[in-house]
Structure 1
């Protein structure tokens, strides 16, 4: 009964020898919850599950730095932290696309969450660009 439910949630399985596999999201709780769910109920080898967890924590580190520099640049109206956050948006986008399309087991829930995440990344890109343009036009006088 449990296996039938898991297979109904499963979207597709990619099996390419030698490819990097991962699971999770940028949000710490959701990513770790989905990785634990996949690790417990889907037939993972220990090497793939370890790789999934390592990639999840690397992605989490990039997201924490991106959000920190973005908020710091926005609150202080500084171009350098905002530019660093804009540069870190690239790896975050690549990881979101990877989790949505290229991991070993792609769940429908992960596809939906990552699609929403990519929409927010587009909004962030537009707002970062507007912020950088407005911060460059501001003349700071002491």
Structure 2
């Protein structure tokens, strides 16, 4: 009898796609942040520094989330996937900050952040389904 494989191909494809997309997203966000810091008037320089620190925080949490999600899916372990789900919360909040709560939000940022949020939410739904598959009781052998 063949062994049941629980890892989700859909989840792996989404995480793989997001690893490349997020790299592009972070570079674009850094470039737009530099553009805004040099060309647009800012109420104070502290806000600009905080936004760059928040971008570094987002890069760290999203990188960890992608790594843990892929590792948990490929090894069929639930704990890394659960940790990846928990890291989705600060990633979503930081992306929402870049989408809505900055001093200046460029149209390109709105598009890129919206795509990033769709990817994160889709991966979150698929990761929960993957957890159900991992922790599903195995069928009784006859």
* Cα distance in 2, alignment partners of residues 75 and 33 from structure 1: 34
What's 2:94 paired with? 95
Q: CA deviation at 1:46?
A: 2.4
The answer to whether 1:72 aligns with 2:71 is yes
- What residue ranges of structure 2 are gaps of 5+ in the alignment? 1-21
What's 2:8 paired with? none
Structure 1 runs, 4 residues or longer, greater than 3 Å off: none
What's 1:43 paired with? 41
- Select the structure that is richer in strand: 1
Q: CA deviation at 1:86?
A: 0.5
TM-score (ref. length: structure 2): 0.75
| 1:43 partner SS | coil
The answer to whether 1:135 aligns with 2:134 is yes
What's 2:113 paired with? 114
The answer to whether 1:33 aligns with 2:34 is no
* Cα distance in 2, alignment partners of residues 122 and 59 from structure 1: 16
Root-mean-square deviation (CA, aligned residues, Å) is 1.6
The answer to whether 1:61 aligns with 2:27 is no
Q: CA deviation at 1:28?
A: 2.5
- Select the structure that is richer in helix: 2
Higher RCO (CA-CA < 8 Å; seq separation 6+): 2
TM-score (ref. length: structure 1): 0.75
* Cα distance in 1, alignment partners of residues 136 and 127 from structure 2: 14
The answer to whether 1:52 aligns with 2:51 is yes
* Cα distance in 2, alignment partners of residues 97 and 60 from structure 1: 14
- What residue ranges of structure 1 are gaps of 5+ in the alignment? 1-24
